[in-house]
Amino acid sequence: MKVLVIGSGGREHSLCWAIAKSDKCDELYCAPGNAGIDRVAITVPIPVDDLDGIMDFVEDNGVDFVVVGPEGPLVAGLVDRLEAAGIKAFGPTARAAEYEGSKGLTKDLCAKYSIPTAEYARFDEPDAAKEYIRIHGAPIVVKADGLAAGKGVILCRNENEAYAAIDHIMIESAFGEAGAEVVIEEMLVGEEASFFALVDGKTAVALVTAQDHKAVFDGDEGPNTGGMGAYTPAPVITADMESRIMDEIIYPTIRGAAADGRPYKGVLYAGLMITEKGPELIEYNVRFGDPECQPMMMRLKSDALEMLLACTEGRLDKITLDWRDDAALTVVMATDGYPGAYEKGSEIKGLDRAGRLKDVEIFHAGTREDDGRILADGGRVLNVTALGKTVGEAQKRAYKAVGLIDWPQGFCRSDIGWRAVGD
């Protein structure tokens, strides 16, 4: 089978790494890929937003199955186009992908089908949004409605911060068209967790639990990023809590999406807050998390390609997934300045030495190769991922590998997994 993975990040590197091990995979391509993906797949220089170019490549090269990694091409309708051409594709259609493309749409789904979530309101005019804040007070959360690469959520401790967030998103257009509308919601108190389920339209299969770190600095301080690290399992999601999440959030969503004409296939990523009342939905993503996918793929024992095919073909009820008992943890190494302005092109050394450590994989996120040198080519650049009998052991192994990487222009948090260390 010829397989094409769409994307260039650490998520796509880990997916390619897992798919390449499948006996079903005869040829593996990735568009556009990166310097690490180039070692496990044939990379092709087609941007993820060049849907015409992707379609031409698929048809010219006889690709049988396409796995769409990032949210952009999903929202833009790549799966719709592939299916219309008779090509199997993993991921939701454009209408279903709007559950990530519009935070407001997801909140409306929750309200309509009694899915637990924070109290909220939607606005397309800044003065009305500020009036809502004046009435409801703070702390409060202000979100750009559209896709903002994980950075469009601002936690506001007081009303002045909330007013400034409205100006930043709606007047200064910090996130472009994604901020034409905002969602304002109450600030939930609890512990965040990431919950993933494969969905084939009717059946849902929960994947292993995970937790990520969105804040840029140690102690979960500083602005939100696309994710500075992640680990699995997440102790906060017990077996009983998993059952509640499936019964109270995932299955009502699947039924509601179908009833609303947006039947869902693919991986459904629920960002949750585990509160005193139980699980509450923060938002939905319509693809694997990045960086959660990386440690999850390290734990997966089943055939990754068969898993994705079963989901696409509507036969999840016929498969059983096997996972390693080990924990896994990934540390994101980013370019100095991220999530703000940063410079590209700095050289990274020591990757081979670090990657030779037992039970360590280094998934590239924003890299390119130039005359044999690996150069940083993005904000989040490397995902140093390790297995261990516990989260603590995986953490030690991952940071040992980080210590072997020579990259003065890079940085990482030093406390990834701190909530679970010792569990």
Is the confidence at residue 314, as pLDDT, over 90?
A: yes
- Identify the band that residue 423 occupies on the pLDDT scale cut at 50, 70 and 90: very low
Mean pLDDT of the chain: 96
Residues 48 and 72 in one domain: yes
Report the percentage of the chain scoring pLDDT > 90: 95
Is the confidence at residue 149, as pLDDT, over 80?
A: no
Is the confidence at residue 31, as pLDDT, over 80?
A: yes
382-398 mean pLDDT: 98
Residue 303 lies in a domain: yes
Is the confidence at residue 137, as pLDDT, over 90?
A: yes
Is the confidence at residue 7, as pLDDT, over 50?
A: yes
CB 58 within 8 A of CB 87: yes
- CATH code assigned at 130: 3.30.1490.20
Is the confidence at residue 422, as pLDDT, over 70?
A: no
CB 144 within 8 A of CB 169: yes
Strand partners, 272: 193, 281
Residue 252's contacts (CB-CB under 8 Å, 6 or more residues apart) are 113, 114, 115
DSSP string spanning 297-316? HHHB-S-HHHHHHHHHTT-G
Q: What is the per-residue pLDDT for 393?
A: 97
Residue 36's contacts (CB-CB under 8 Å, 6 or more residues apart) are 13, 362, 363, 364, 367
Residue 369 lies in a domain: yes
CA distance 142 to 165: 7
Query: How many structural domains compose the chain?
Result: 4
Both tokens assigned to 97: 């992908």
CB neighbour class for 422 (10 Å; exposed up to 12, middle 13-18, buried from 19): exposed
- CATH code assigned at 314: 3.30.470.20
Q: What is the per-residue pLDDT across 202-257, written as a single tens digit (0 to 9) for each?
A: 899 999 999 999 999 999 999 888 899 999 999 999 999 999 999 999 999 999 99
- CATH code assigned at 44: 3.40.50.20
Q: What is the per-residue pLDDT for 228?
A: 97
CA distance 421 to 395: 8
Residues 270 and 337 in one domain: no
- Identify the band that residue 12 occupies on the pLDDT scale cut at 50, 70 and 90: very high
Is the confidence at residue 127, as pLDDT, over 70?
A: yes
CB 204 within 8 A of CB 243: no
Q: What is the per-residue pLDDT across 332-360, written as a single tens digit (0 to 9) for each?
A: 999 999 999 999 999 999 999 999 999 99
Q: What is the per-residue pLDDT for 223?
A: 87
Residues 269 and 159 in one domain: no
Specify the DSSP element, H or E, that contains 195: strand 191-200
Tell me the chain's radius of gyration from C-alpha atoms: 20
CA distance 28 to 30: 7
Residues 281 and 173 in one domain: no
Nearest to 263 by CA among 65, 72, 68, 97: 97
User: What DSSP character marks residue 248?
Assistant: I
CB 99 within 8 A of CB 284: yes
Residue 233's contacts (CB-CB under 8 Å, 6 or more residues apart) are 208, 209, 210, 327, 391, 420
CA distance 358 to 396: 12
Residue 112 lies in a domain: no
173-179 mean pLDDT: 93
What range does the domain containing 71 cover? 2-93
Residues 301 and 365 in one domain: no
Is the confidence at residue 50, as pLDDT, over 50?
A: yes
CA distance 260 to 257: 5
Residue 106 lies in a domain: no
Strands 65-68 and 2-7: parallel
Q: What is the per-residue pLDDT across 71-114, written as a single tens digit (0 to 9) for each?
A: 999 999 999 999 999 999 999 999 999 999 999 999 999 999 99
